[in-house]
Amino acid sequence: MRVTYNSPNRSHHYRYAAALARAGVLRAFVSGFSRFSTRAPLPGVPVIRADHVQNIYLAALRLRAPSRFSETLAHASKVWLDRRSTASALQSDVFLCYSGAGRSTLERLRGTRVVGAVEAVNCHVAVQERIMREECRQLRLPLTGFPAAEVARRRREYDLADAILCPSQFVKDSFVHEGFPADRIHVVPYGIPKPTGFAPALAPSDGVFRVLYVGQLTPRKGVRYLLDAFVRLKHPRKELLIVGPRSTPSGLEDATIPEQVRFAGVLKGDDLARAYASSAVLVLPTLEEGLALVLGEAMAHGTPVIATVNSGGADLFRDSEEGFLVPIRDPAAIAERLQQLADEPALRERMSQAALARLRALGGWERTDALLLAAVEAMAAAGHRANFTTATA
């Protein structure tokens, strides 16, 4: 079996490529990750460079170019990645493309023996669009969804794909809801880190009940619902620490910010580790996420988590065991769980120890590597879907 795999960025994708290379099945990894980055590619991974447009896109982001211009470049980058993948894909058994980066290649594969699959790191684009349309309407913001060309491109890829690779049951359910065959969807949760050397803050020396959020400040992340929940929390010494960059719009434009809220900006390395370890709980109120890596990071520090059911968290932890799952857009549910953790130190300690034990049981990236290889082998064995739709973009 030979696999051609593509991705516009590094993220977990180089790990996937390395796992396929170690198994001896990777024909080529078509990468948009910048060749100018100081973070070198992993050894042993055969790379075809397709970072030409991606580098311009990244420069546009750094220069704060207008969002529509940056979006056009992001779309063009995936089109270029797609074109650079075709020749290798035609000589493979499986072509696995990042969502939005494989339409023309998948079209070329029709009528061949090559199985085409889409890696969806987030839920079905139609579900994403519905969620964000609802949110922007509630916040009276302009729609912050994908450009029409990107939506059409992804929909066409779904029509052409023989299989979908995704990181969580939540993402799989979104595709099943939109009509994709469940038996052609393969769930491979991302690996999560091993427990760290930073002790969890079960009894902070400063006596503060610290609530942590880590992620971008965008409407999709639902931070305004966390603010609402935090206001409802009754504790004499509470603090909300918000870590991450602020986007425009952030979803907080008209929100009242309590004085106990601290914006820390972007934290990395030991600074971020200390934020996890000094917090009583991490809250992720996201409206839509494939599988939020910050949940695993928090658990690795023994920090209990509260996350929405749309975070992919159910693939990492069990509700009321290592953390809590709550509905989206429900500050009352978040507040109830915060109050419970604030009032019951023994519960926080139990969840902290359960989170560390859960990480050890899940097996980290080694388990993910094995699941990925099994998924690709299953795609190749299943072959093509019996019927292709005739939708056009």
pLDDT in tens, 217-263: 999 999 999 999 999 999 999 999 999 999 888 889 888 999 999 99
Mean pLDDT value across residues 130-134: 93
pLDDT at 198: 53
List the beta bridge partners of residue 95. 4, 116
**pLDDT for 39 beyond 80:** no
pLDDT at 286: 97
CB-count exposure of residue 392 (10 Å: 0-12, 13-18, 19+)? exposed
Tokens of 27: 């024909």
All structural domains of the chain, each given as residue ranges with its CATH number in brackets, are 3-191+365-382 (3.40.50.2000), 209-362 (3.40.50.2000)
Q: How confident is the model at residue 197 (pLDDT cuts 50, 70, 90)?
A: low
Q: How confident is the model at residue 196 (pLDDT cuts 50, 70, 90)?
A: low
Cα 53 to Cα 73: distance, rounded to the nearest angstrom = 7
Mean pLDDT of the residues in the chain: 91
Q: Of 106, 98, 47, whose CA–CA distance to 77 is shortest?
A: 98
pLDDT at 235: 95
Give pLDDT tens digits for 54-78. Answer: 889 888 888 888 877 888 888 899 9
Q: How far is CA 257 from the centre of its chain?
A: 27
pLDDT at 393: 39
- What global pTM score does this model have? 0.91
Give pLDDT tens digits for 137-174. Answer: 988 888 766 788 889 999 999 999 999 999 999 999 99
Tokens 């978040």 found at:
334
Task: Let me know the angle formed at the C-alpha of 45 by 40 and 47, rounded to the nearest 5 degrees.
Answer: 80
How much helix, strand and coil, in percent to the nearest 5, is found in the chain?
Answer: 45, 15, 40
Q: Of 165, 282, 146, whose CA–CA distance to 220 is shortest?
A: 146
More confident residue, 209 or 40: 209
Q: Give the amino acid at 175.
A: F
pLDDT at 392: 38
Mean pLDDT value across residues 83-88: 97
**pLDDT for 202 beyond 70:** no
Strands 47-49 vs 163-166: parallel, antiparallel or unpaired = unpaired
Say which residues have a Cβ less than 8 Å from residue 313's Cβ, sequence separation at least 6.
284, 291, 292, 295, 305, 307, 323, 325
